[in-house]
Structure 1
Amino acid sequence: MMPRWIGLLLGCCLLLLPPLALAHKPSDSYLTLTVQGQTVQGRWDIALRDLDNALLLDADGNGQLTWGEIKVRERDIGSYALARLALSAGGQACGLQPRDMLIDHHTDGAYAVLMFNARCAQPPTGLGIGYRLFADLDTLHKGLVQVVNDGAIATAILGLEHPEEVLELQGKSLLSVLGDFMLEGVWHIWRGVDHALFLIALLLPASWVASGRGWQPVGSVRPVLVELLRIVTAFTAAHAITLSLATFKLISLPGAVVEIGIAITILLTALNNLYPVVQRRLWLVAFVFGLIHGFGFANVLVGMALPPAHLAVALAGFNIGIECGQLALVLLVLPVLYLYRRERGFKSAALYGGSIAIGAFAIVWVWQRSAPLLA
């Protein structure tokens, strides 16, 4: 009969398998709607890499999109996107009319900027939004929406599981903004599986203590909890620092460099589990590497032009959500590691096997993320 720890270990792995293919910045678009009477002016920033996946924009297949390849497909891009967006006021649809298409650069790459107008039958008091972009291709894609009306701001995060919302034009309360971004922070951990695997790699040796170039089981739960508290606190503090600095645009790094750096931190952490060079003060490793991960978290908020009060609340909510997502991972993984730390074969399967698997994924991600820069 299968030992119970094997079943628990397999269950934890199965929870992580579905999103492994998305171990990069989660797919987001940024939609800004400005209401002026019966007219709504729209700006929609959509990543070219996502549009290429849907429409095969790279005509020559060389892996690099040119302005010529994009320009010749401008009408297709506009038709594809606007067919997956619906606006309404008072239960009546607002007709969408495309205008221009531009190109802009975010920290994670180039975006098509679709400019359009919508004409409503009457001046809206609440704007209904139906969002289904990439719903058939990427179930984790999110649309980060803000509606601007005479200085008032309302925000929403839409996707497959929440495709519609009516935003009141007097604006959204700061408490609602806090709740929205707390939820997005939780999902960001679970969608951006590279962050989750980094945290798991840090947690894997928590129930063992370094001895020579190997690991021995700890004698009690207290040192496990102390070490865990240090690691999680250090990682939290570090990514909160760079997340805040990047969100308020005090410091910036290219998205491609950040993504490669995140993959390298995962690889180095996994290797240290296999051959513990850093045996003490793992919290310091978590802090240094957490600074890099903070830039990866920041992409969500940097792309939204929120006013200072909303941005501060969104940042706080996003941080809280990330911590809740991390806590969920800790509660999932740590009890299994501690309870079965002395079981025969468990260390080999969990600590060494888990670290080898995580390291293998990290090597693939380093290669995938470096390839465009080397082309």
Structure 2
Amino acid sequence: MIRGLILLLLCTAAWAHQGSEGYLFFRVDGADVEQRLDLSLRDLDRDLGLDADGDGTPSWDEVSARWPDIERLAAEGLSFTADGAPCMLLRRDPPQLGEHSDSQHAVLVSHWHCPAPVRELQIDYRVFARTDASHRALARLAGAAGEPLVLVPGAGPQRLGIEGRGLAGFVVEGMAHIASGLDHVLFLVTLLLVAVWRRDGAGWAPRASARSAFVETLKLVTAFTVAHSITLGLAASGAIAPPSRWIESLIALTVLLAALDNLHPIVPGPRWAMVGMFGLVHGVGFAGPLTDLGLRGTELVGPLLGFNVGVELGQLGVVALLLPVALALRNRAAYRRWVVPAGSSAIAALAALWLAERSLTLQLLP
């Protein structure tokens, strides 16, 4: 995932040591700007000593009691202008908490009015510049496709433009999401390896015709698409928000089970039913880039449609590359003895490592 890869680069050691990150969101409506800054309670506790009772975890009472200090730290470390002109603070929202990467963050929301309709924001980010050289923030504009802007404290003003909010940008982002999501790609590869075969008792036998293989592939892709589209929409709208650690672990488990099913059919019933159930899990994983945009209500319709189309195009690209090869090789002894067993075993081993890493927060892979 794009966002996941960026955060991985920002962290000094993924999983074993969680890096220091903040999240900055802007919503622009003409000359009005809503700013949301999410800062980790762990980082705030280091600088402000929020944990008054010393139990290792700042409570809501401890955080809310120090909220004026948190707002002062944020105000001193973050400023922005709109097209070079300062904006006027209208109000601040009440204290609230949010969650990112399964850790608690203070959520600071403020509302501003600028002299004219905003075309570009210039952000000067200095939060934790004196206390944590590794701290970074990811800045996004609601409704804008593309990768977030990485803010380095004290690096000087950086620009965040409001262009690039069209449907095409989200189609491209959906395609990029599939291309960079190795777990999603390997799940599709696992399915395609045996889509050219049919179940034969406790094993597999080559399908007699290419048409039969195309029909089976269509069933699998349709089941996966319908299922992940449902949960993608629910997760992107905020209707469901399971912890990311659970979802990433379950995605690894789906890849593992699909690969083991290739080696010896273990999942009962038609394979499209299994793929549909697993697709519900993958859909929540797909939603990450959209939930980061902070879209609300009808604002989500266009980006969700474009992103989902991009995901489908990415999937079809994988199918177009692999299915003809699998069709051509489906009757070969080498395909049965080496390609499918070796490929499925390698995918199963990698998925098992992912599952251990994600569920137990270990670092087993470099």
For this structure pair, what is the TM-score category when the shorter chain's length is used for normalisation?
0.5 to 0.7
C-alpha distance in structure 1 between counterparts of 2:329 and 2:315, whole Å = 22
Residue 36 to residue 329, structure 1, CA distance change in 2 (3 Å): closer
Counting only pairs closer than 5 Å after superposition, residues 53-72 of structure 1 correspond to structure 2 as: 67=58
Matched, 1:301 2:297: no
User: Contact 1:107–1:299 (CA<8 Å) still a contact in 2?
Assistant: no
Match of 2:176 among 172, 184, 187: 187
Name the structure 1 match of 2:103.
110
Q: Answer yes or no: is the 8 Å Cα contact 2:235–2:284 preserved in 1.
A: yes
Q: Where does 1:1-375 land on structure 2 (aligned, <5 Å)?
A: 29=23, 31-33=25-27, 42-45=35-38, 67=58, 89-90=82-83, 92=84, 104-106=97-99, 108-110=101-103, 112=105, 123=116, 125-128=118-121, 143-146=139-142, 155-159=144-148, 166-167=161-162, 176-278=165-267, 281-372=270-361
Amino acid at match of 1:167: I
Partner Cα distance (2:253, 2:316) in 1: 23
CA offsets, 1:46-95, max 9 Å, x none?
7899x9xxx9xxxxxxxxx9559x99xx99x979x96xxx96644x4879
Other structure's SS at 2:302 match: helix
Task: Measure, in 1, the Cα distance between the counterparts of 2:29 and 2:255.
Answer: 45
Cα–Cα, structure 1 residues 29 and 199, in superposed 2: closer, same or farther, change >3 Å?
Answer: farther
| TM-aligned CA deviation for residue 310 of structure 1 | 1.3
Q: Compute the RMSD of aligned alpha carbons.
A: 4.9
- Cα deviation for residue 109 of structure 1 reads 1.7
**Distance between the aligned counterparts of 1:329 and 1:129, measured in 2?**
40
Structure 2: runs of 5+ lacking an equivalent: 16-20, 47-55, 126-133, 151-157
User: Relative to structure 1, is the Cα distance of residues 359 and 115 closer, same or farther in structure 2, using a 3 angstrom cutoff?
Assistant: same
Post-superposition shift, 1:200?
1.5
- Describe the shift of the 1:143–1:360 C-alpha distance in structure 2 as closer, same or farther (beyond 3 A): farther
Cα offset for 1:201?
1.4
Aligned length: 320
Q: Please tell me whether the aligned partners of residues 226 and 276 of structure 2 are also in contact (alpha carbons under 8 angstroms).
A: yes
Give me the whole-angstrom Cα distance separating, in 1, the residues matched to 2:139 and 2:328.
41
The amino acid of 2:306's aligned partner reads: G
Per-residue CA deviation, residues 329-364 of structure 1 (Å, 9 max, x unaligned), is 111221221222334423333311111111111111
Cα deviation 1:261-300 (Å, max 9, x = unaligned): 1111111111100011347611111111111212222333
Comparing 275-284 and 120-129, the one that deviates more: 120-129
How far apart are the structure 1 equivalents of 2:324 and 2:159?
38
**CA shift at 1:128, angstroms?**
4.3
- TM-score, scaled to structure 1: 0.66
Q: Partners in 1 of 2:24 and 2:198 — Cα distance?
A: 46
| Runs of at least 5 residues in structure 1 that lack an aligned partner in the other structure | 1-17, 56-64, 147-153
Query: For the residues of structure 1 that align with 2:124 and 2:346, how far apart are their CA atoms?
Result: 37
TM-score (norm 2): 0.67
- In 2: Cα distance, 1:196 partner to 1:111 partner: 31
